[in-house]
């Protein structure tokens, strides 16, 4: 088991290195002069030659690419992602200040989506082929096809404004957190419900469950004892992988609900090409994704002995 | 098993449902003005974010640019130009910063020096060799090696010289948060709070023009335009800035919410033609494009009065604006005929086996460019010019990237922001300039622009600007206005009479509810 874990860790480190290189290449591969991008981000219309020279020197833009990468990754390893072109503040402090709010939103939405999808999948599997199952399937298909921002705008219009529940401008209020997390969580739960339902139905049709049914076990007991544990493993893997999607979906919800997380910060950075902020956000998101995958793999290795000898394809 | 499912579902539902009673909170309207805007004020750093303070009533400038297209004294009592190379600035008597310190000539000079030390915009706006000196308790003199006719515009530009207490700013080093409540500006409202979501300000009781009409105001940063509109609809905000024009019909249908259109601004959606590649390298095609665009239709039919019709490169309230734009499809067709572009069976013009086809470049940050480009596409088709619309993310870089194909770019531009004409001409029209997207290089324009930079005679200045506008329409077209922007806001009933601020002056000391 230890060897398998070390192998997964090695793969994760390689993935993180590759990601850092790709993320860093965003700047040198972008069209145009980086100085022009910095000036745009700072809304400087008439830069002096001295100002342009100072920017090149400050951001090391005259150095060879490999040197620039080493300086950047050296800083990243120490938690220094450089300065925001737009605000001039250290990138990491700007992100960290807003991160707790984002973690609140993502964490709560994760809890909601796990509970919601687990409950719906169990109901659908218990009454497979009957109206509760068909209802759950129709509901999940509809939600899976609905972007979360559309759902958010509908909720703002009809629930917040129409019914007077909550506020449009959150200002960090807990009420908004619950609404936004519910939208994000319920939206994300659609796919997870379909996956778990399929797993439950597959395992209900297998030998052990059949034997239990033949012995007269109640359907709920068969589902809980024979199908659910077996179906949970792939579902948990999907949860870990989809966590990245949850984090990726948060910025747009934060922007719509004026939730003071990193979303608005990053979207503004995107609009003005504030590359250091974008690089930091993408890299942190990728690393979180890699870390989540690693945790899920480690859990799978611990739970399923066959995984201890599995080799990556 | 059923209990497990029930528990899971109820666990998720409970998180939402049990919270509903707390969510249903009534929002009491209060006396403060509540603005929602799309941009975030990042910090109290005056060199990076100070210009916002001028827009929301915290900071002031020495001069003000008004709707009449002229510069008027603001914190100054007069601005005189007794000699071509010398300006005399006289301050109003009795001015104070919000922290109580007097605003005299020494304090203003300190603010100007600090800006020149820290602000790229200030550094780029002041000619080499310019000297600011105190020549009286309330008087400063500016001397320059060459005449500097743009000084009134520079003093009215929010990006350049905000009048602030430079000593108080220097005292905080880089800890900008300490400037909250420090009263470093002179405006009617003092900043009392700033975080990632909003700015708060309270009335400055000793404001020099009189008691501010409001006890205070908040400016919330809401990037999403739909959320800004909903905030007004839900009575959480009084004024929403920068609403998309596309929202106007929906807003017009809402009770108690109003879409207010204001006066002319100094910019619009400007077209830039690519002279380095494609069919617009041919001057006849460029002239035909100008005459094929229906400027009235864009303003009145496409945007239903949400934008103003362009009559020239400049807004018509500017004293030097010509009225030389004229849609003329016959003239456009004749120009194309003479240039050898012949109408084919497909309805489009061809020459040497090539179809007359242009790429219209737009960008997603300006959603109004979608209906505008679609309208222009249809208008160009009337004279046989095929047009394809391509959206570029990061338009300024994209247009300068040689590998990108485009012929006619549509970019929101201020041709005379705060009445300053030199900035646009220097930056967009001169060869090698930072934003000369299409490679424009006209010998006469190249000579006129630097001449304008040092020409103080108003008549000659107008003559030069008329000549540049004529060249850009009749002789060597390159940059032109599709429209002139109008101020626009969404307001609730309390502020139904609020007129969108000219030149981004959103809040004055007299801004108040209608009743």
User: Strand B267-273's sheet: what is its strand order?
Assistant: B386-391, B357-362, B408-414, B267-273, B479-481
pLDDT tens digits for range B49-79: 999 999 999 999 999 999 898 999 999 999 9
Write out residues 156-185 of B within 8 Å (CB-CB) of A: 159
Q: What local confidence, expressed as pLDDT, does residue A262 receive?
A: 84
**Residue A306 pLDDT more than 80?**
no
3-state secondary structure A162-230: HHCCCCCCCCCCHHHHHHHHHHHHHHHHHHHHHHHHHHHHHHHCCHHHHHHHHCCCCHHHHHHHHHHHH
Mean pLDDT of B257-272: 94
Tell whether A255 lies on the interface with B, counting CB pairs under 8 A.
yes
Mention every residue, 6+ apart, whose C-beta is less than 8 A from residue B331: B288, B291
Judging contacts by C-beta atoms under 8 Å, the chain B residues touching residue A116 are 8-9, 12
d(CA A291, CA B426): 51
Q: How far is CA A91 from CA A12, A81, A88, A268, A276, in A?
A: 25, 6, 8, 13, 7
Q: What local confidence, expressed as pLDDT, does residue B6 receive?
A: 54
Q: What residue has token string 């090409």?
A: A273
**CB spacing of A255 vs B22 below 8 angstroms:** no
Q: What local confidence, expressed as pLDDT, does residue B30 receive?
A: 58
**CB spacing of B427 vs A256 below 8 angstroms:** no
Residue (of B279, B103, B99, B251) closest to B190 by Cα position:
B99
**Residue B332 pLDDT more than 50?**
yes
Write out residues 261-320 of B within 8 Å (CB-CB) of A: none
Write out residues 61-120 of A within 8 Å (CB-CB) of B: 86-89, 97-98, 108, 111-113, 115-116, 118-120
Tokens of B124: 């780029």
Q: What local confidence, expressed as pLDDT, does residue A73 receive?
A: 87
Between B55-64, B150-159, B373-382, B398-407, the lowest mean confidence (pLDDT) is in B398-407
Tell whether B443 lies on the interface with A, counting CB pairs under 8 A.
no
Nearest CA in chain A to B221: A258
B99 vs A12, more confident:
B99
Q: Are strands B354-355 and B349-351 parallel, antiparallel or unpaired?
A: antiparallel
**Shortest Cα distance from A170 to chain B (angstroms)?**
9
Helix (H, G, I), strand (E, B) or coil at B172: coil
Mean pLDDT of B11-34: 52
**CB spacing of A48 vs B120 below 8 angstroms:** yes
Contact predicate A126/B1, CB 8 Å = yes
Candidates B23, B237, B394; nearest CB to A166:
B23
**CB spacing of B12 vs A115 below 8 angstroms:** yes
Between A213-227, B273-287, B429-443, the lowest mean confidence (pLDDT) is in A213-227
**Shortest Cα distance from A133 to chain B (angstroms)?**
13
Compute the residue count for chain B.
515
d(CA A56, CA B65): 35
Contact predicate B429/B440, CB 8 Å = yes
Contact predicate A296/A242, CB 8 Å = no
Q: DSSP of B28-97, one letter per residue?
A: ---SSEEEEESS----S-HHHHHHHHHHTTS---SEEE-TTS-EEESSEEEEEEEETTEEEEEEPTT-B-
Candidates A86, A119, A175; nearest CB to B22:
A175
ipTM of predicted assembly, 2 dp: 0.75
Judging contacts by C-beta atoms under 8 Å, the chain B residues touching residue A56 are none
**CB spacing of B230 vs A156 below 8 angstroms:** yes
Mean pLDDT of B76-83: 96
**Shortest Cα distance from B410 to chain A (angstroms)?**
17
Mean pLDDT over each residue of chain B, to the nearest integer: 91
3-state secondary structure A50-81: HHHHHHHHHCCCCCCHHHHHHHHHHHHHCCCC
Q: What percent of chain B lies above the pLDDT cut of 70?
A: 94
Between A204-213, B78-87, B375-384, B392-401, the lowest mean confidence (pLDDT) is in A204-213
Judging contacts by C-beta atoms under 8 Å, the chain B residues touching residue A120 are 9
Mean pLDDT over each residue of chain A, to the nearest integer: 81
pTM of the model as a whole: 0.83
**CB spacing of B397 vs A31 below 8 angstroms:** yes
Candidates B195, B196, B401; nearest CB to A32:
B401
Q: What local confidence, expressed as pLDDT, does residue B106 receive?
A: 97
d(CA B446, CA B450): 7
Position A20 confidence tier, pLDDT thresholds 50, 70, 90: confident
Judging contacts by C-beta atoms under 8 Å, the chain A residues touching residue B197 are 169-172, 258, 260
Tell whether B197 lies on the interface with A, counting CB pairs under 8 A.
yes
**Shortest Cα distance from A12 to chain B (angstroms)?**
33
**Residue A123 pLDDT more than 70?**
yes
Mean pLDDT of B246-253: 90
Nearest CA in chain B to A156: B230
Q: How far is CA B247 from CA B226, B243, B367, B500, in A?
A: 8, 7, 11, 16
Compute the residue count for chain A.
313
d(CA B346, CA A63): 54
Q: What local confidence, expressed as pLDDT, does residue A56 receive?
A: 80
**CB spacing of B5 vs A218 below 8 angstroms:** no
pLDDT tens digits for range B127-152: 989 999 999 999 999 999 999 999 99
**Residue A313 pLDDT more than 50?**
no
Q: What local confidence, expressed as pLDDT, does residue B7 receive?
A: 52
Judging contacts by C-beta atoms under 8 Å, the chain A residues touching residue B23 are 165-166, 175, 178-179
Tell whether A220 lies on the interface with B, counting CB pairs under 8 A.
yes
Candidates A157, A182, A267; nearest CB to B223:
A267
Write out residues 51-110 of B within 8 Å (CB-CB) of A: none
pLDDT tens digits for range A37-95: 777 777 676 666 767 777 787 777 778 888 888 888 888 888 888 888 888 788 998 88
Mean pLDDT of B101-105: 97
**CB spacing of B398 vs A31 below 8 angstroms:** yes
Helix (H, G, I), strand (E, B) or coil at B198: strand
Judging contacts by C-beta atoms under 8 Å, the chain A residues touching residue B123 are 48, 50-51
**Residue pairs spanning A and B at CB distance below 8 A:** 188
**CB spacing of B397 vs A32 below 8 angstroms:** yes
Q: How far is CA B79 from CA A162, A187, B94, B116, in A?
A: 54, 61, 18, 20
Write out residues 283-302 of A within 8 Å (CB-CB) of B: none
């Amino acid at each position: 088991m230890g060897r398998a874990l070390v192998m997964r860790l090695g793969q994760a480190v390689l993935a993180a290195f590759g990601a850092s290189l790709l993320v860093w290449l965003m700047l040198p591969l972008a069209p145009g002069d980086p100085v022009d991008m910095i000036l745009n981000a700072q809304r400087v219309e008439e830069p002096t030659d001295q100002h342009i020279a100072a920017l090149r020197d400050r951001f090391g833009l005259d150095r060879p690419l490999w040197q620039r990468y080493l300086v950047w990754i050296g800083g990243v390893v120490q938690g220094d992602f450089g300065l925001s072109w737009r605000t001039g503040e250290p990138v990491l402090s700007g992100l960290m200040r807003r991160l707790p709010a984002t973690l609140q939103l993502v964490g709560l939405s994760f809890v909601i989506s796990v509970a919601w999808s687990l409950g719906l999948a169990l109901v659908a599997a218990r009454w497979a082929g009957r109206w509760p199952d068909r209802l759950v399937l129709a509901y999940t298909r509809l939600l899976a096809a609905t972007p979360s921002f559309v759902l958010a705008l509908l909720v703002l219009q009809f629930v917040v404004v129409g019914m007077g529940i909550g506020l449009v401008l959150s200002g960090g209020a807990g009420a908004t957190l619950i609404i936004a997390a519910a939208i994000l969580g319920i939206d994300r739960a659609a796919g997870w419900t379909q996956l778990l339902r399929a797993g439950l139905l597959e395992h209900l049709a297998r030998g052990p469950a059949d034997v239990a049914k033949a012995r007269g076990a109640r359907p709920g007991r068969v589902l809980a004892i024979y199908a659910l544990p077996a179906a949970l493993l792939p579902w948990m893997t999907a949860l870990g992988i989809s966590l990245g999607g949850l984090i990726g979906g948060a910025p747009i919800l934060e922007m719509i609900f004026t939730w003071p997380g990193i979303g608005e910060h990053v979207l503004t950075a995107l609009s003005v090409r504030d590359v250091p902020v974008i690089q930091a956000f993408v890299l942190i998101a990728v690393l979180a994704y890699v870390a989540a995958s690693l945790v899920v793999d480690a859990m799978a290795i611990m739970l399923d002995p066959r995984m201890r000898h599995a080799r990556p394809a | 098993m059923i209990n497990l499912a029930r528990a899971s579902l109820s666990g998720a539902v409970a998180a939402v449902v049990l919270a509903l009673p707390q969510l249903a909170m009534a929002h009491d309207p209060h006396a403060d003005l509540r603005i929602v805007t799309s941009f975030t004020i990042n910090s109290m750093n005056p060199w990076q974010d100070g210009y916002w303070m001028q827009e929301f009533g915290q900071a002031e400038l020495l001069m003000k640019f008004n709707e009449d297209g002229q510069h008027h004294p603001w914190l100054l009592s007069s601005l005189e130009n007794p000699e071509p190379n010398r300006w005399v600035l006289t301050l109003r008597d009795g001015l104070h910063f919000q922290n109580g310190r007097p605003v005299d000539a020494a304090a203003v000079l300190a603010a100007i020096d600090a800006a020149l030390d820290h602000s790229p915009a200030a550094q780029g706006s002041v000619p080499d060799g310019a000297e600011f000196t105190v020549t009286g308790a309330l008087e400063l003199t500016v001397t320059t090696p060459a005449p500097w006719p743009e000084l009134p515009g520079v003093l009215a530009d929010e990006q350049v010289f905000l009048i602030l207490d430079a000593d108080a700013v220097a005292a905080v080093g880089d800890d900008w948060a300490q400037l909250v409540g420090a009263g470093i500006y002179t405006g009617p409202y003092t900043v009392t709070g700033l975080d990632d979501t909003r700015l708060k300000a309270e009335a400055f009781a000793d404001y020099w023009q009189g008691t501010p009409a409001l006890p205070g105001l908040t400016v919330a940063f809401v990037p999403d335009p739909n959320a800004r509109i909903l905030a007004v609809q839900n009575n959480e905000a009084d004024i929403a800035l920068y609403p998309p024009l596309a929202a106007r019909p929906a807003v017009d249908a809402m009770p108690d919410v109003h879409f207010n259109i204001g006066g002319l601004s100094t910019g619009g959606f400007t077209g830039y033609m690519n002279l380095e590649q494609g069919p617009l390298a041919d001057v006849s095609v460029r002239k035909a494009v100008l005459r094929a665009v229906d400027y009235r239709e864009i303003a009145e039919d496409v945007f239903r009065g949400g934008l103003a019709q362009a009559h020239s490169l400049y807004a018509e309230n500017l004293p030097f604006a010509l009225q030389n734009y004229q849609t003329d499809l016959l003239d456009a067709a004749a120009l194309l005929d003479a240039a050898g572009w012949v109408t084919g069976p497909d309805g489009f013009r061809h020459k040497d086996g090539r179809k007359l086809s242009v790429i219209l470049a737009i960008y997603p940050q300006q959603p109004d460019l979608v209906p505008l480009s679609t309208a222009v596409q249809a208008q160009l088709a009337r004279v046989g010019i095929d047009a394809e619309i391509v959206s570029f993310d990061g338009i300024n870089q994209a247009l300068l990237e040689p590998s990108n194909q485009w012929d006619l770019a549509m970019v929101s531009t201020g041709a005379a922001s705060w009445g300053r004409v030199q900035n646009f001409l220097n930056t967009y029209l001169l060869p090698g300039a930072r934003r000369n997207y299409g490679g424009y290089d006209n010998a006469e324009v190249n000579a006129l622009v630097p001449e304008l930079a040092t020409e103080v005679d108003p008549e000659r200045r107008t003559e030069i600007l008329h000549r540049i506008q004529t060249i850009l329409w009749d002789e060597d077209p390159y940059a032109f206005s599709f429209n002139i922007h109008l101020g626009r806001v969404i307001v609730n009933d309390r502020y139904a009479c609020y007129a969108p601020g000219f030149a981004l002056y959103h809040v004055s000391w007299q801004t108040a509810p209608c009743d």
